[in-house]
Structure 1
Amino acid sequence: MKRLTLLRHAKSDWLDRSLRDFDRPLNARGMRGAKAMGLYAAEKKMVFDAVVASPAVRVTETIDHFETAFGHTLNPDWDRRIYLASSVTLIDVLRGVSDDAGHVLMVGHNPGLEDLVFDLVPNDGSSPLRDVVEEKFPTAALATLDLAIDHWAELDNNKAQLVELIRPRDLDPDLGPQDDD
């Protein structure tokens, strides 16, 4: 059994239209959301054996704020393939994770992370949380999946159970849902 936690980057800033998408930083609400999720992870005593993340600025800043509140250094493996990746690419990245890692944190972007949930969790009506993701997987949301595999290379569609979904607004109503994109 493996465990995968997905963290979508926090709310980014669109004020400077001259920046490339890759270079957009977090806005104030995003910083608060990332910290709230880090505090939540600390409260739940989450332990990540490996972290894989997009190197986009909004992801690196999400990790910085999450990590500060979490109280533990994450040491992510920055993987450019995660930036705006499809679910197929994200599965490929995860298949390359060392089997020593029982619990992996992946930090990235939508629609890839949302689509990854849809691909990994069966659409058979057995997961009310999957239905919530279908409505919206907002910025800074944290989804935890249990995977019915022994090796990351075995990761494939319909092999997961979505066991937890926490959105920033679940922790602080001021963090949503004004504009959750």
Structure 2
Amino acid sequence: MNVYILRHASAGTRRDNPLIDVKRPLDKEGKQQCMLVGSYLNALKVQFDLIASSPLKRALQTASLVGTETGYDAKIQVTEALAPGATVSVFQQYIAGLGRYENVLIVGHNPNLPQFLGSLIVSPGRASIRMRKGAIARVDLTRRPGVLNWLVDPRILRGVYTNVTKRSRRKTSWK
């Protein structure tokens, strides 16, 4: 199973009242971010068997926009396991039940989403991350433990490069 973990897109300023903050929608920049992520995933020819989201409006909107952009036509699965207050153990139990899917998109929030990602790539006492030939990763060791900022596989670079070269020429008019 391939799990794609996506933090919800930009939703403006956090509200002090938690009841109002739950309903905070994406802003214009957030919608554009969703389109960029969707276009990037399309360039990589990624199709999702399942999209799961936190029940908060901004996460649901992110999941919906990215899903639409990638051609996902099933219902988005809403789960409390991705809500801001969810724990790593609840998240791991949720993930354990998704074994029948090949590609899953998970949409959630900070601060627990990075913890969920860490729980997927680090076992207690040891870490094992698969890197293909030519892959490159960036780890920030400013503080301990280190932070995996990104990991790029050559297949991703090939997909991005192909997409960029197709659109790199300026459109000109002969009028």
Deviating runs (4+, > 3 A) in structure 1?
15-19, 122-130
* Partner of residue 3, structure 1: 2
Q: Which deviations, in whole Å up to 9, do the C-alpha atoms of 1:112-162 show, x marking residues without a partner?
A: 2211222222365967647269276xxxxxx8xxxxxxxxxxxxxxxxxx6
1:72 aligns to 2:72 (yes or no): yes
Compute the displacement of 1:38 (Å).
0.8
Compute the displacement of 1:17 (Å).
5.4
Structure 2: tracts of 5 or more residues without a match: 141-145, 157-175
Q: Secondary structure at the match of 1:90?
A: helix
What is the aligned counterpart of 1:131 among 132, 139, 154? 139
Larger relative contact order (CA 8 Å, sep ≥ 6): 1
Paired amino acid for 1:91: Q
Q: Secondary structure at the match of 2:5?
A: strand
Q: Which deviations, in whole Å up to 9, do the C-alpha atoms of 1:56-78 show, x marking residues without a partner?
A: 10011112221333233252111
- Kept in 1, the 8 Å contact 2:53–2:108? The answer is yes
Larger Rg: 2
* Partner of residue 94, structure 1: 95
* Partner of residue 11, structure 2: 12
Q: 1:114 to 1:134 in 2, by over 3 A?
A: same
Paired amino acid for 1:7: L
Q: 1:129 to 1:91 in 2, by over 3 A?
A: farther
Q: 1:108 to 1:52 in 2, by over 3 A?
A: same
Instruction: Give the distance between the partners of 1:68 and 1:42, measured in 2 at CA.
Output: 11
1:41 aligns to 2:41 (yes or no): yes
* Partner of residue 121, structure 1: 121
Instruction: Give the distance between the partners of 2:121 and 2:56, measured in 1 at CA.
Output: 27
- Kept in 2, the 8 Å contact 1:7–1:108? The answer is yes
Structure 1: tracts of 5 or more residues without a match: 137-142, 144-161, 167-181
Identity of aligned residues (%): 26
- Kept in 2, the 8 Å contact 1:117–1:130? The answer is no
Q: 1:129 to 1:75 in 2, by over 3 A?
A: farther
Q: Secondary structure at the match of 2:106?
A: strand
Instruction: Give the distance between the partners of 1:6 and 1:93, measured in 2 at CA.
Output: 14
* Partner of residue 111, structure 1: 111
Instruction: Give the distance between the partners of 2:14 and 2:24, measured in 1 at CA.
Output: 9
How many pairs are equivalent? 139
Compute the displacement of 1:8 (Å).
0.9
Instruction: Give the distance between the partners of 1:129 and 1:115, measured in 2 at CA.
Output: 19
Q: 1:51 to 1:100 in 2, by over 3 A?
A: same
Paired amino acid for 1:90: F
